[in-house]
Structure 1
């Protein structure tokens, strides 16, 4: 399977997600909403598996390929958190953002070589990138929740259950973020002889992880709610710089971490 078939999987998956995002507010049968989300996730996963087989390598090398995983994980996390916490808006926003990233790949098709450079032909490649994208999706879901909570706080009616959801998702996402950094350090040691080189990607990864660590500290110390919630949004902005923005920095063009387009 190649990118040429992506449209035939993306459109049905998005139709399922969009339908679920709408019906969650109007349908009195949650099983229908959950079924639509699951079907969309399965369809999307089928394309990822097919692309993996077709390219004879994990689809994790380029920005376009990581967008696939981001859409998949965000839809999956949105569904799982909805099933546990029953926040309709979280399912809708997760489905919407997953569709946005899917549309980017539709309107910017990418076809890549089936070959990987020697440094990427490592057993650390798949777990390192997968764990990172999973953390990005979870922290993205937490950011969506922070926007809703900010609105609640400004109205003077903060939702304590929403704080619990945010904290749990951030804790898990941060754990995966650190795990990805540790895997990357071990991989770098094997490939280049050193754990850390402070290249632009690594530097921004450190800044991002520090921002989330500060958020966790401030939540535990019960700092001003508005400041803490805004910090979560800033931390996600830093994460986006780490994931995408660094690729456009002149200093990063020779970095092994920069995805090819």
Structure 2
């Protein structure tokens, strides 16, 4: 049975990559006729992913107290948002922008060596910390997708090279507003998650400043704080603002996937 569940994880990962690759190819080589297999393939991929999650919840390896488990849940949430956009608005572009992120998160959560937490740690506050960060990460990841869409549309207009799939997206003003709204939702959740994590560390008698993930999280939060300052106070131009979102997303991804959480493993 273990082989079957592992196979479901691999099929989900492969499905996300195939759909994203086809969508991105169609961005550069526009076609008049829609691909009818995209929707059933995406549904089948998400179903495989949900079965994989169900198995993890039943057997106990999927507990939202490790970065790997959070990554698996985040990956299906991002894929669900991409599917909702595709179904409701007939927009294929989010599939190309968001599904690669789902694949990265799923690969990290499924095949990375699990983080082992000491049994004496307080799990209640830790789970609040994880839940807040997961909500913040999701909003900021979606903001990244919106920012990339905005930048692609700007590039298309400046180069006078039409991208057929982007023509179905909202105008630049709406994309800019959506990006800022998502960051206004995600940034407070990120900050609250960091504060709860620091409180948890103090209660456990640990020094949070020795944990590289805390330092990188502060850096990530600083980038998004700079975006909000530049957006609402300094009134920077849209292109610069959205590139700042891309930089913040890179910092977020590095912090989540690459930087170890030494506080929790001490």
Same fold, judged at TM 0.5 (above): yes
Contact 1:19 1:36 in 2 (8 A): no
Distance change (3 Å), C-alpha of 1:171 and 1:37: farther
**Runs (5+) with no aligned partner, structure 2:** 27-32, 161-170
Distance across 2 between alignment mates of 1:14 and 1:56: 19
Contact 2:57 2:63 in 1 (8 A): yes
> C-alpha displacement at 1:238, in angstroms?
1.6
> 1:70 is matched with which residue?
74
Higher relative contact order (CA 8 A, sep 6+): 2
> 2:193 is matched with which residue?
180
Distance across 2 between alignment mates of 1:121 and 1:52: 21
> 1:94 is matched with which residue?
98
What TM-score comes out, normalization by structure 2 length? 0.72
1:199-256 Cα shifts (integer Å, max 9, x gaps): 3221221121121111122222431222211111111122123223433xxxx7xx22
Report SS of the residue matched to 1:123.
Answer: helix
The alignment covers a number of residue pairs equal to 245
What TM-score comes out, normalization by structure 1 length? 0.73
- Residue 168 (str. 1) matches residue 181 (str. 2): yes
**Runs (5+) with no aligned partner, structure 1:** none
Distance across 2 between alignment mates of 1:189 and 1:236: 28
> C-alpha displacement at 1:151, in angstroms?
2.9
Contact 2:140 2:249 in 1 (8 A): yes
> 1:192 is matched with which residue?
205
- Residue 135 (str. 1) matches residue 136 (str. 2): yes
1:1-38 Cα shifts (integer Å, max 9, x gaps): 86x54433224435665676658x855989x83x7645
